[in-house]
Amino acid sequence: MYFFLWLGICAAMGHHFFYNSLDGRIADNHIHMLRYGTALSFVAKASLAASVVLAFKQRVWLTVRRKAMTLSAVDSLFAAADDLSAIFNAEIFRQARVAIILAIYVWCTPLVVILTSETLAVRNELAVENATCPAVRTLNFAAEETNEWRDAKRIDKLISLSVSLWNTTRGALDEDGNEFEGWYDYFTSPSWQFEQVATLAAFSKTPVARAGAAEEICGTGWNCTYTVQFTGPGYKCTELASGVGSKPKKLGNATAPFGTEILAPEGNQTYVAQAFLGHYSETQMEDVWPGGIPTTPAPFPKYLGALRTEPILWIGYSDVDDPTELQPDNRSDPEWDKVYTPKISGCEHYETKYEVLFNYTGLLQHTNVTRREQI
C-alpha cells in the first residue's frame, strides 16, 4: 500500500513539474510531450487507486470488527469499491465514513486521466527575440565599380551575372595599324536580367522576393523584422506648373519640353512623360565591329562610353479632385473645364541613402522605406 502511495505521489509531482517546465516554451513535439504527460498521469492514477483500494479493504475489515451493522450495510460496504449503487446506503455513511470516502475516491480517479489531457494546450503567443538573421540580402551598387564582368564570380556553384552589358575597344587598331594596347570596356545598356527584375518590381509595386527567403532568413514558423541600409539611385521631383495657363518654371537651367496646353482640359492628353532627353546612347560610334569594337584607328572620341548626363524625368498629368467619381466624357460637358487641373513636374536623379524596413509575416514579405536622403 505504501509503495503504491509513494509511487503515485512521485508520478503526480513529476507530471506537475514536467508540464510546468513546458509552460511558455515553443510547442516542439507537442504530441510526444502530451504522451509523456498522459503516461505519468496513468501511473499516478493507477498507483494511487491501488493504494486506496488496499487501504479501503483494510478499513472495511476494521469497521466490521468494531461496529455493529445490518447485513445489507455490510454487503454494501464490501461492494462499495466495485458497485457504485452500493455507496447510496445511508447506514454505511453513518457507520463507515472513512471507508466511504476512500470508495468515492476510487470512483473519481478516472477523472484524473480525463482532465489532465486538457492541461497541456497550445496557444498563439507573441515572442520577441533579438537575434542575427542569416541570409539577409542587401543592395550594393558600389560593387559594379570594381566588378570585372570578364572574371565572373560563383555563388553556390552559380555564375553571377552583371547588371550591365558591355562593349569593348579590344581588337581595335592604333594609327600605326597595330592592335590598340590601351583598350577598355565601355557601358552599353542594362542587362536583360536586370531589366526583367526592375520591370516586374515596377509593375507589381513591390520588391521581387526570392523564393524561400522567409525560411532562410527567419526560420520555419517564425516572423521577423529587420532594417537594411544601402545607397542607390533615386529621384527628387519638383512641381513646376499647376493650373490652366500656368507657365512651367525652370528646373535649374533646364526648361520643360512641353507645357500645360497639351494636357486636359486644354489638350487631349491626361498624362505625358519625356524621360530620354540626353539619355546615354547605346550606339557610341557609328562604325563599329560586332561587340562595339571601333573600326576607325585610335585615338577614339574623348567621351566614348562616358555617362555625362542623367536625363531629367519630365512628367505631366491632369489631376482630378476625386478619382472615384465618374469624369466627363467630352468637352461638351459643362464640367470638363472644372474637374481637370494640369500639372507638370521635373524629377532629377540623385544618389540616395535608403533605410528599408523588411517584415516577414506568415512567409509574406512587406517593405516600408523608413528613410530616404538625397546625397
Residue in 247, 245, 237 with CA at minimum distance from that of residue 265: 245
- 17 three-class SS: helix
Query: Of 153, 181, 149, 186, which is closest to residue 167 (Cα–Cα)?
Result: 186
Question: CB neighbours (10 Å) of residue 233?
Answer: 11
Which cell is 351 given? 544618389
What is the distance between the alpha carbons of residues 143 and 149, in angstroms, rounded to a whole number? 11
**343 or 112: whose pLDDT is higher?**
343
Span 320-345, average pLDDT: 88
**Cell numbers for 232:** 542607390
> How much is the pLDDT for 113?
60
Q: What is the pLDDT of residue 112?
A: 62
Q: 313-319 and 271-274: which strand pairing? A: antiparallel
Distance CA 33, CA 55 (A): 33
Whether the pLDDT of residue 278 is over 70: the answer is: yes
Lookup result for grid cell 478499513 = 59
**171 compared with 113, residue with greater pLDDT:** 171
Backbone angles phi, psi at 342, to 5 degrees: -70, 140
Find, among 256, 369, 370, the residue nearest to 314 by Cα: 256
Residue 146, helix vs strand vs coil: helix
CB-based burial label for 121 (10 Å; 0-12, 13-18, 19+): exposed
Which residues are paired to 251 by β-bridges? Answer: 254
Per-residue confidence (pLDDT) for residue 76, from 0 to 100:
67
Spatial separation of the C-alpha atoms in residues 12 and 47, rounded to whole Å: 10
> Can you give the pLDDT at residue 235?
94
Quickly list H helices, the chain. Answer: 2-22, 30-66, 71-79, 90-95, 97-108, 110-116, 143-146, 192-204, 213-218, 336-339
CA-wise closest residue to 36 among 12, 15, 13: 15
Q: In the structure, what pLDDT confidence band is assigned to residue 116 with cuts at 50, 70 and 90?
A: low
Mean pLDDT of the chain: 83
Picking from 356, 320, 326, the residue whose alpha carbon sits closest to that of residue 338 is: 320
Q: What pLDDT is attached to residue 229?
A: 93
DSSP code, position 305: T
Sorted by where each begins, the domain ranges of the chain are 2-116, 212-277+312-375
If pLDDT is split at 50, 70 and 90, which confidence band does 117 have?
low
Task: Determine the Cα angle at 232 with ends 229 and 238, to 5°.
Answer: 110
d(CA 151, CA 160): 10
What integer is the mean pLDDT of 272-300?
A: 88
Taken in order 63, 65, 69, 70, the sign of the CA dihedral is positive
More confident residue, 69 or 276: 276
CA distances from 265 to 269, 290, 330, 334, 337 (A): 9, 50, 10, 11, 5
Q: Using CA atoms, how far apart are residues 305 and 28, in angstroms rounded to an integer?
A: 59
Per-residue model confidence as pLDDT tens digits over 198-214 = 899 989 888 888 888 88
- Round to the nearest angstrom and report the end-to-end CA distance of the chain: 84
Q: What are phi and psi of 316, to 5 degrees?
A: -125, 140
Query: Residue 265's pLDDT is what?
Result: 92
Band of the pLDDT at 160, cuts 50, 70, 90?
A: confident
- Tell me the three cell numbers of residue 279: 539619355
pLDDT at 67 over 80: no
Express each pLDDT in 228-271 by its tens digit: 999 999 999 999 999 999 999 999 999 999 999 999 999 999 99
Does this model's pTM top 0.75? no
DSSP string, 241-258: EESTTPPPPPBTTB--SS
